Structure 1
Amino acid sequence: MTTIRDVAARAGVSVATVSRVLNGSGYVGKDTEIRVKKAIQELNYRPNTVARSLANRKTGTIAVILPDIMNPFFSELARAVEDTARDGGFTVIFCNSDDLGTREQHYIEVLRQKYIDGIIFASNSMGEDDIVYMNENRIPIVVLDRAPGKSGCTVIRSQNAAGAVMAVRHLMETGCRKIAHIAGPGELITAQERLRGYRKAVKGFTWFDESLIVPGHFSIRGGERAVSGLLERHPDVDGIFAGNDLMAIGALKALQRMGRKIPRDISLCGFDGVEMSEWTEPELTTIAQPIYEMGRKAATHLIARIRGKAVKEDILELDVRLVERNSTRRRKN
């Protein structure tokens, strides 16, 4: 088996020089680097990654903690993270927390013991104490989409409140005169921001009532259940803004079972822009987040931190856009 000493002998350099080339650390002249890489190729040398990780506590592995990998939003995020990490030479481990704080804490401890180089969080249950813990233990982290109130780390998310305003105004422009909101879990910052945007857009209208806001729990089943109670109280609702696409799809199913025509009777708009929103009949109008870009930026920022580069610990909000489809198209008044 070829060893690092064999590579050093072939290139005519020290073992330390080969190590610097392999780890990308320390100064190595360009000509020397070329000789070392040529020797590695000629000898088909494969570094012992286990030994390297024990020596420098780096494994070339990052972890992503997700609340629900079955949610297509998080699946699309995960794909972007994996693509970007692979291009940067990193392997990705995915952990599904099922929105359970105890499971997330277990993952954090296990990952720390295994010398994971960094963690991307898209978990609902993450709190400020978790960030403090990881900062104290020098674990590079990036938070995706759902940040605690005081982040203390890099947070990448989209413009949730602005997107909600965009959705409601679009429904109004298509002729809707009484618009309800199916909201996500109240403890999540994303749901809070989308609700805030809805309130801002409907503020001052005489038709608005608090009972037009119903919980949907960011799930298809939640969206289905929300519609039934909503229309019992407000049979004249002609527009619904759902806080994510899954709830909108559930609402669509329930409305169709009730015999409501979309968009003739009720217009419907979701939020996220997941691929599934194109598969419904009619196709779902949505406020699309740049999901792939969010995942790419999260991985890029984390890798930069792992490599010791200065990264501003701040909240980065990405633009959203309206994707108009048949669930809201009607003759404008």
Structure 2
Amino acid sequence: MVTHCSPEMDVVVLNLPEVRPTLADVAHAAGVSLATASRVLSGFHQVRPETRRQVEQAVRSLGYVRQRAGRMRGPRRTGLIAVVVCEDGGRLFADPYFSRLLVGINRELTAADHQIVLLTAGKGHAGQSPALRLLRGDHVDGALMVSMLTRHAAALERVGIPVVSVGRPMCADPDRHSYVDVDNRGGAVRAVRHLVAAGRTRIATVAGPQDMTAGLDRLAGYRCALAEFGRDDTGLVMHGDFGQASGEHATLRLLDRRPGVDAIFVASDLMAIGVLRALRRTGRRVPDDVAVIGFDNAPIAGTMGPPLTTIGQPVELLGAQTARELLGHIDGTLTERAGHGTAVTRVGVR
């Protein structure tokens, strides 16, 4: 099944639903773990009578009702969805991309009476990550993966719950997995075409990390567009990690190597902040001497001086669509093992 995201839906308003007690609330009120509360409500007999009474009392006092249980294929239901970000915690809370993504995810999940459990699985972790071990413990109904790498994909084969990736997973056979992606390659092509149309002739790039599909695809799109105009990228490609500092350092190295650069396509708006800082440090004016175009259409792009032209991607919509895909697999309304969708990008000129 292919799901298409409409480019017109760029703004997502988070409407908080009526707050209803969750299984986590029941567990807290009963003074037991989430897993124990789930076992009681699932009818398991290996629970102490006193514990069972505590959970049942909490259910009555809170007015908790298990939602849509009849639509579940399996015997258990927690009402919890894991969002596993395969990045270190520092990056998760520093990059506004993730907060925008979570807005879209949260909108869909709360409307379906699910709560988010936010987990991190740093790039240094493999299948033994505590987050991935938790997925195998019947604690959540499904998982949304962000920035998934090859080693994470292999571990997810054994978790036994529905999993959908935000973005095409970085693995040997991504089509075996359900995911919703952004047209990263097409967005980069649009960026370079825009710069060429503006008369720029020496177009460099600060590319994203090459262990992520977004980084790979945006670099591929840049190179494809240069080739379209018969241009070479020798000495014009630098790499960053999508963070501000890496953008600044990459640009300083670029200018040492190719001081005549008159345009830079930057693979993320956060890196573009660092690029602009480096250009100011070296006395170059933007856009007079060097034009800069970013990627993401982060809110900060419009507040920068000068405002940053950027490739817009519907991040909130991406999160919402991925959550809908996962809910369909959980409920059984999506019967195909793997579904893939692509959201479009567009140039936001400032």
Report the TM-score range of the alignment, normalised by the length of the smaller protein.
0.7 to 0.9
Cα distance in 2, alignment partners of residues 184 and 277 from structure 1: 18
Q: Percent identity?
A: 32
Match of 1:62 among 71, 75, 81: 81
Match of 1:257 among 281, 288, 293: 281
Cα distance in 1, alignment partners of residues 230 and 185 from structure 2: 22
Distance 1:183 1:311, change over 3 A: farther
Match of 2:154 among 111, 123, 129: 129
How big is each residue's C-alpha offset from its partner over 1:267-308, in whole Å with a ceiling of 9 and x where there is no partner?
Answer: 001111121222211111111111011100111111111112
Cα drift, residue 95 of structure 1:
1.2
How big is each residue's C-alpha offset from its partner over 1:163-184, in whole Å with a ceiling of 9 and x where there is no partner?
Answer: 1100001011112110001111
Cα drift, residue 233 of structure 1:
1.2
Distance 1:184 1:47, change over 3 A: same
User: Residue type of the partner of 1:47?
Assistant: Y
8 Å Cα contact 1:260-1:266 kept in structure 2: yes
Match of 2:216 among 179, 192, 205: 192
Match of 2:313 in 1: 289
8 Å Cα contact 2:248-2:274 kept in structure 1: yes
Q: Determine if the alignment matches structure 1 residue 113 to structure 2 residue 137.
A: yes
Match of 1:269 in 2: 293
8 Å Cα contact 1:178-1:208 kept in structure 2: no
Larger Rg: 1
User: Residue type of the partner of 2:164?
Assistant: V
Match of 2:63 in 1: 46
8 Å Cα contact 1:273-1:288 kept in structure 2: yes
Match of 1:145 in 2: 167
**TM-score, length-normalised on structure 1?**
0.78
User: Residue type of the partner of 1:190?
Assistant: A
8 Å Cα contact 2:148-2:165 kept in structure 1: no
Q: What SS does the corresponding residue of 1:201 show, helix, strand or coil? A: helix
Cα drift, residue 206 of structure 1:
6.5
Match of 2:343 among 302, 318, 325: 318
8 Å Cα contact 1:301-1:311 kept in structure 2: no
Q: After superposition, where does 1:195-214 map in structure 2 within 5 Å?
A: 195-203=219-227, 208-214=232-238
User: Residue type of the partner of 2:92?
Assistant: I
Q: What SS does the corresponding residue of 1:69 show, helix, strand or coil? A: helix
8 Å Cα contact 2:147-2:212 kept in structure 1: no
Match of 1:77 in 2: 101
Cα distance in 1, alignment partners of residues 183 and 144 from structure 2: 20
Cα drift, residue 124 of structure 1:
4.0
Match of 1:238 in 2: 262
Structure 1: 5+ residue stretches without partners:
1-21, 24-42, 326-333
**TM-score, length-normalised on structure 2?**
0.74
Q: Determine if the alignment matches structure 1 residue 216 to structure 2 residue 240.
A: yes
RMSD of aligned C-alpha atoms? Answer: 2.5
User: Residue type of the partner of 1:106?
Assistant: P
Q: What SS does the corresponding residue of 2:157 show, helix, strand or coil? A: helix
User: Residue type of the partner of 1:56?
Assistant: P
Cα drift, residue 207 of structure 1:
5.5
Distance 1:45 1:231, change over 3 A: closer
Cα distance in 2, alignment partners of residues 130 and 289 from structure 1: 29
Cα distance in 1, alignment partners of residues 106 and 228 from structure 2: 45
Cα distance in 1, alignment partners of residues 128 and 149 from structure 2: 8
Distance 1:125 1:111, change over 3 A: same
User: Residue type of the partner of 1:94?
Assistant: L
Cα drift, residue 208 of structure 1:
2.4
How big is each residue's C-alpha offset from its partner over 1:68-96, in whole Å with a ceiling of 9 and x where there is no partner?
Answer: 32211111101111121001100101112
Distance 1:103 1:75, change over 3 A: farther
Cα distance in 1, alignment partners of residues 312 and 194 from structure 2: 14
Structure 2: 5+ residue stretches without partners:
1-40, 43-59
Q: How many residues align?
A: 279
